[in-house]
Each structure stands twice: as C-alpha cells, then as structure tokens.
Amino acid sequence: MRVVAYSIKTFEKEFLAKANQKKHDITLISNALSLDTALYAEGKDAVVVFTNDDVSAPVINKLADIGISYIATRSVGTDHIDLEEAKKRAIKVANIPAYSPEAIAEFAVTLALALSRQLISTVDHCRNFDFAVSPHPGFNFHGKTVGIIGLGHTGLAAASIFKGFGCKVIGYDISMPLKSSNVTPVGLEKLLREADIISLHVPLTSETQHLINAASIDLMKPGVMLINTSRGAVINTTDIVNGLDRGKIGYLGLDVYENERGLFLSDRKMDPASDPLLDKLMKHPNVIVTPHQAFLTAEALNEIALKTIQNLDEWQRNISGKVCA
C-alpha cells in the first residue's frame, strides 16, 4: 500500500520502520495535514495522521478527489476527523483502539504529584541555589478522595495507581459499565462535590465538550486539583482561568489544551504569535502545562506503530481479495 504519514516526529520513525518491515511504501513527513499539504498524498492509497492534523470535511474532500481511500490515525480519539464526511466519500477510517493506557495514567498521576508537592517551583528555586523549604509545603495523597471521570482503559489504570496511594477512588462514566473493584461508581454531581482530586479520561464528544465549565466548577470543593490528559476541549479554558483567579481551582495539570492545534507538539519559542488565554493560564504558579506528551513512552510508541501498520495490513489484504485475520 502507498502511504503518506503526516506530522511525523523524529522519535516515531524507528518504531514505524520496525513495525512496517518494508511491507508498505510509506513516506514520512513532518508537515501537518491541511488543505495546503493534502497534495502530498497524490498518488497514494492512504494517509496516516495524528491528533493535531486537520482532517475536516474540506480536507477529506480534497483527499478523496486525489484518490485517497483510507485514513489511519495514530490515536485512540477520532474527534479531529470528520467521520460523516469520510463515510460520504467512501473513505475508510481506522484508529488505535487502545495503547499502553498505563503511559497516560502514569503521566496524569505524575502531574498530580508534581502539583501536590510544588515540585516545579522547588526545582526552579534549587537551580538558583535557594534551598529554603518554607515556600514549598505540600499534601499527602493518602486519605484523599480522587474522582475519575471516564472509566475506560486509561481511567481504570489511573484509578489503580491512586488506589495504591491509599486514596478513596470514586468514578463516573457517561455510558461505560464499571469493571474494577478499585472504583466506587457515583453520579457526576456527587463526584464533583466530593473529590479532592479530579482526573479526566474521556473522549471528546458532543456530550463531553466543555464538561468542565463554570457550573461544574462551582460544584467542586474549594482548592480542588484538576488533571486533564484526555482532550483539551473537555474543559472550558476561560472558565478554568476564572476558577483559578478566584481560588476555586487550587491546582491544575494540563497535558492538553482546547486551542492546541498548531501550537503543541512543536517548538514555538521563536514565534512572536501568542495565545493570550494560554499565557494567562500559565502565569498561575499552581498550574502545570505540558505539550500533549502523556503518550510519549517507548512502550506506547511501539504499540501505536504496530497497530497503525496492522490497520494498513488489513486494508491491503482486502485490496488483494484476501480475508482479514
């Protein structure tokens, strides 16, 4: 199969090459998919994309017009792809059903720990040879109530880790039945009212967009810790900034941001363009923002590459008239 893979980072190349074993003719490019770069897919059968690629209806139509029949995303989420338009244009879409949920769960807990012990400011002080401890009091996780919103593979992996710290773990999911003894299921309102730490692990859908907003923040405990490693638009960032300003949100850890496309996953320090909302957010000392890197472990990258190639393999078998395994 002839393929072009967009938004490829250096660290992905080795994993994709190893998984592919020269089965498919894959062109790896660092450019993000857009209306302007869709032309790089001319003469190909499939495109491989990532979460910050533009796979909107206009782009899909352009891809279809130049002969693309398949879109494979190197992610679990498909909210960046207009699935209805792809279906109309007879383009098949595949995602990664699951990959190393522990990678993202561990990162969520890492953000929570760093915030709870003021680790970033402590390290910054020590680099300036200021070794005073009085500015950096923290708190124990043991005995705290953790609310997990989204009880899929990643949410349950996070629940297990928090449980190991001696936390009381409560959880809510809009549709998924509970499959773990580590979590006590509760309604969303009860979770928001009772949790000291809230960790988000939901896909972005019409039901979860801006799930965390002014109204839901008002239900939370004063000084609550909020962690998001799922999708940026699950949180209304303007409302979160307001919550930080008035002290309702005590700690915030974000690996995703609702306006991250074209910003995260790239070096922008020399770019004069600014995001005022993100600037305002990051001025708060009790906020940690990371650039959508929760997935970034060797184990996860290997699984993503293997499953991406498996999707291409299955499509190739169908093209060849063979039955998929």
Catalytic residues: 231, 260, 292
Q: Which residues contact 92 (CB under 8 A, 6 or more apart)?
A: 69, 70, 71, 86, 315
Give the list of residues 6+ apart from residue 296 with CB closer than 8 angstroms, or none: 11, 103
Q: How far apart are CA 277 and CA 256, in angstroms?
A: 14
Whether residue 223 contacts residue 239, with contact meaning beta carbons closer than 8 Å, is answered with: no
* Gap between the Cα atoms of 25 and 277, Å rounded: 42
Enter the tokens of residue 201: 């692990």
Reduce the DSSP state of residue 184 to 3 states and report it. Answer: strand
How far from each other are the two terminal CA atoms of the chain, in whole angstroms?
Answer: 17
Find out whether 227 and 199 touch, Cβ atoms under 8 Å. yes
**299 contacts: CB under 8 Å, gap ≥ 6:** 100, 102, 103
Q: Which helix (H) or strand (E) holds 287?
A: strand 287-289
> Contact at 8 Å (CB) between 292 and 255?
yes
Helix axes 101-116, 119-127, angle to 10 degrees: 60
Q: Which long-range contacts (CB under 8 A, 24 or more apart) does 273-279 make?
A: 277/237, 277/238, 277/241, 278/237
